[in-house]
Amino acid sequence: MDYEKLKIKSFKYWDLYLHENQCYLGRVFVQLRDKNGVDDFLDIQGEMRDEFFIVGEQVKKALQRLFKPDKMNYAALSNISPVIHVHIIPRYKEPRTFHEIVFTDTRWGQNYAPYDRTFTIDEEILYKIKDALKNQL
């Protein structure tokens, strides 16, 4: 997947992307735009850190308005990608419907992972989720 197509918004230090796997409707990740010598999430300082929390709060509010998640999960693992990024994963007690597709959080009450890596939706719906979030920010 070309993640540039899934970019929702760019900020001074961070980019916001829709995650290609939407088994958790609205899952996104916030990625540091330029390492600036930072290799560990806890080493982020000053404006860069402040902006991360501003972006996170904006995303959380947009997700709440759009999909009304019951809980939010956050994951900053950096196991596969060396670029600092944080996943924002909305969690749902009950199924949600978006453009006639039902999204069910089958792991409610448990860790979000392992998640269903086989879950797919048409690119058209993926871009509609991206656009809906973009319009809320």
- What does the domain layout of the chain look like in residue ranges? 3-136
Match domain 3-136 to its CATH number in 3.40.50.300, 1.10.3720.10, 3.30.428.10, 3.40.47.10: 3.30.428.10
Convert the pLDDT of each residue in 85-108 to its tens digit: 999 999 999 999 999 999 999 999
* Residue in the block written with tokens 């900053």: 76
In 24-41, which positions are buried (b, 16+ CB within 10 angstroms) versus exposed (e)?
Answer: bbbbbbbbbeeeeebeee
Model pLDDT, residue 135: 97
Peptide bond into 114 cis (omega under 30): yes
Convert the pLDDT of each residue in 105-131 to its tens digit: 999 999 999 999 999 999 999 999 999
Neighbours of 104 (CB within 10 A): 15
- Asked if residue 78 has pLDDT above 80, the reply is no
pLDDT band at 1; cut points 50, 70, 90:
low
Relative orientation angle of helices 123-136 and 46-67, to the nearest 10 degrees: 110
* Residue in the block written with tokens 């709440």: 64
Model pLDDT, residue 18: 98
Convert the pLDDT of each residue in 5-60 to its tens digit: 999 999 999 999 999 999 999 999 999 998 677 888 999 999 999 999 999 999 99
CA angle, residues 20, 67, 103, in degrees to nearest 5: 55
